[in-house]
Structure 1
Amino acid sequence: MDNQQHVGEYRPFFYRIARHVVEIRGATDIDIARCLPSFEPFAAQPGEEDDSLIAVRLTIEPAPEIESAKLLSDISVIWEERFCFEETDDSYITTIQAKEGDRPWKMVSSKDFRESVIYAQADELYSTFKCNWLIMIAFGQAGLLRDTLLIHASVVERAGKGYAFLGKSGTGKSTHSRLWTEHIDGTKLLNDDNPAIRVYDDGQVSIYGTPWSGKTPCYRQVEVQLGAIIRLEQAPFNRLDWKQGKEALVALLPSGSAIRWNPTLFASMLQILEEILTRVPVGVLQCLPDEEAARLCFAEVSSIRS
């Protein structure tokens, strides 16, 4: 990434997310704590055994002109933002532009997303989620090569286990989590948008809180065993069916975080999903947004023996 040269000083800040160390090097004129308040519960100092998962350099300067970049995706309506992904021989470029005429934000990343530079706009640094969102992209992709999956889900925890609710936007993931916290004693919200799942060599599958929780502030440095994954589908009745094999993979795949055009990252995501579904029960809950649905789901996952 030769185009990422900058003359100046940076201060390192370290965060631990899903047991990975994330290093964010902020230019000295940037208040990282003010820029990334949701990261505060994850602040850490790396130990000798730690290896940084990603390193992000945050700077305020004009983004470089990058020639011969190939457009990979140009999709709208992400937090009312417009973003695109481009590729060069050695980098990926993520660009966000909120409104026509605004100056864009750019992130230039290595092909494995282990190192990135974010070119921020000073007048938006503390008033938007753009920086936070770009770091989420980098973490989500870099984690795939380290048995870690950032997944779009709402998660509750109870008695040392986490239960992840998946589904299309508007399906009622947050509502179902709320119904659990209201009607199932001992339940707490773990994350309401982008938790991390990590698969370990000894068979353990853990789910973690992250700095990314959508519209619900819930930034918890918590790790619990992943007890079950439930995909929600709206219906005029409540019924839960457990899935296996291809049906389970189909239930999980839409919620994964890999960029589809990178075959290495996408293959890593598939491998992680396959490991998850062999170790964690996967179900589809056709449901109403009511207490009965939450109690049915709780009874079903409680009947599972580790």
Structure 2
Amino acid sequence: MRKIYSIAGLKVELSGESTMQQLTRLPEFDVFEIDDQSEVNIDIFIRMDENVDAAYFTEVCHVHRFNVLDIEHSFSTCKEGYLYEMHRQDGSKIVSVIYNPHSNDVLMSSCNCSISIKFAMWIAYSLPAVKEKVLPIHASTIVKDSEAVLFLGESGTGKSTHTRLWLQYIENTYLLNDDSPLLRIEGDKIFVCGSPWSGKTHCYRQEIVPLKAMVRLSQYPENKMSCSSKLNSIGAIYPSFPPFLAYDGSFSEKIIYCLDKILKDTPVYELKCRPDRQAAEVAYTTIY
């Protein structure tokens, strides 16, 4: 089985059998599928149901490990490229991904869990996409007047709540993505792209929109918004990029390159706020 998707302007070819069949049942990928696959130049190849085992790779060096919902995630470098693995608490493997940075080829093992497939696909796409100047970022994204505003913050700070307030009280707005939009660098311009990964919110749009502003949110008993200095802007944005990428020198260079492009022309704000209508109006008035 073979399918081609267009995600943030990159053409991604997926091939495989059992895991591909499960992926095609996930509706979030449907809008990104290319119907006419003739004469398409492929940017990223992801081959599923491959035999990806750490025992087959040499000079494996762990870069970053973390646990989410009793699943251990590990990101490593090896002579063959980059290895990402997910294991259960009993040590059994859920899925593995190996990326060869010299060819933009990604191999992914078989996986029978739809949630894990989505996450593994995010990894399999993100690793080669960074080389093409496309980076994932943790944010909730509103589009107003054909421009994107990204709301950043730790999980639980109210990003989704705040964008819902924009949808409710600010005219001519819509949600582009509620969890993991993609930033695309084209020359000196930064664009925000919809993606198949939007957290718990079903919002999957194949759109590419110019970046208007970034806003770092925090909860506060009153609504206050200010423009951040460049130094504070770095501190506001950098933690929203995937942490495992920041632990590798090559990927962190790409993040810093993207940060430099953002800070050149994009205003970054700090919004301390309550979850109410006034917070959305203060943010809108300050940005626009």
TM-score, length basis structure 1: 0.85
Q: Does 1:167 align with 2:153?
A: yes
Cα distance, 1:240–1:112 mapped onto 2, change above 3 Å? farther
Contact 1:96 1:106 in 2 (8 A): yes
Residue 269 of structure 2 is matched in structure 1 by 283
The correspondence of residues 109-124 of structure 1 with structure 2, limited to 5 A, is 109-111=99-101, 114-121=104-111, 124=112
34, 49, 66: which one aligns with 1:75: 66
Map Cα deviations across residues 130-171 of structure 1 (whole Å, 9 max, x no partner): 122112123223222222221100001122111100001111
90, 115, 125: which one aligns with 1:129: 115
Report SS of the residue matched to 1:38.
Answer: helix
82, 89, 101: which one aligns with 1:92: 82
Contact 1:228 1:281 in 2 (8 A): yes
The code of the aligned residue for 1:209 comes to: G
Contact 1:113 1:141 in 2 (8 A): no
Report SS of the residue matched to 2:285.
Answer: helix
CA distance in 2, matches of 1:46, 1:261: 37
209, 213, 221: which one aligns with 2:198: 213
Map Cα deviations across residues 249-284 of structure 1 (whole Å, 9 max, x no partner): 111111113612321221011011110121211111
Residue 56 of structure 2 is matched in structure 1 by 66
13, 17, 27: which one aligns with 2:3: 13
Residue 247 of structure 1 is matched in structure 2 by 232
CA distance in 1, matches of 2:77, 2:86: 15
Contact 2:52 2:97 in 1 (8 A): no
Map Cα deviations across residues 21-52 of structure 1 (whole Å, 9 max, x no partner): 1111123784255354311101124675x643
Cα distance, 1:232–1:61 mapped onto 2, change above 3 Å? same
Residue 179 of structure 1 is matched in structure 2 by 165
CA distance in 1, matches of 2:225, 2:70: 34
CA distance in 2, matches of 1:62, 1:141: 16
Contact 1:149 1:198 in 2 (8 A): yes
Report SS of the residue matched to 1:106.
Answer: strand
Contact 1:148 1:272 in 2 (8 A): no
Map Cα deviations across residues 47-86 of structure 1 (whole Å, 9 max, x no partner): 75x6433211011667463354222222102x55321122
More deviation in 94-103 or 286-295? Answer: 94-103
For structure 1, the 5+ residue unaligned runs are 1-10
CA distance in 1, matches of 2:222, 2:142: 22
Contact 2:62 2:76 in 1 (8 A): yes
The code of the aligned residue for 1:73 comes to: H
Report SS of the residue matched to 1:65.
Answer: helix
The correspondence of residues 224-239 of structure 1 with structure 2, limited to 5 A, is 224-239=209-224
Residue 27 of structure 2 is matched in structure 1 by 37
Residue 156 of structure 1 is matched in structure 2 by 142
Percent of counterpart pairs with the same letter? Answer: 28
- Aligned-residue Cα RMSD (Å) equals 2.3
Cα distance, 1:30–1:227 mapped onto 2, change above 3 Å? closer
Deviation at residue 176 of structure 1 after TM alignment = 0.6
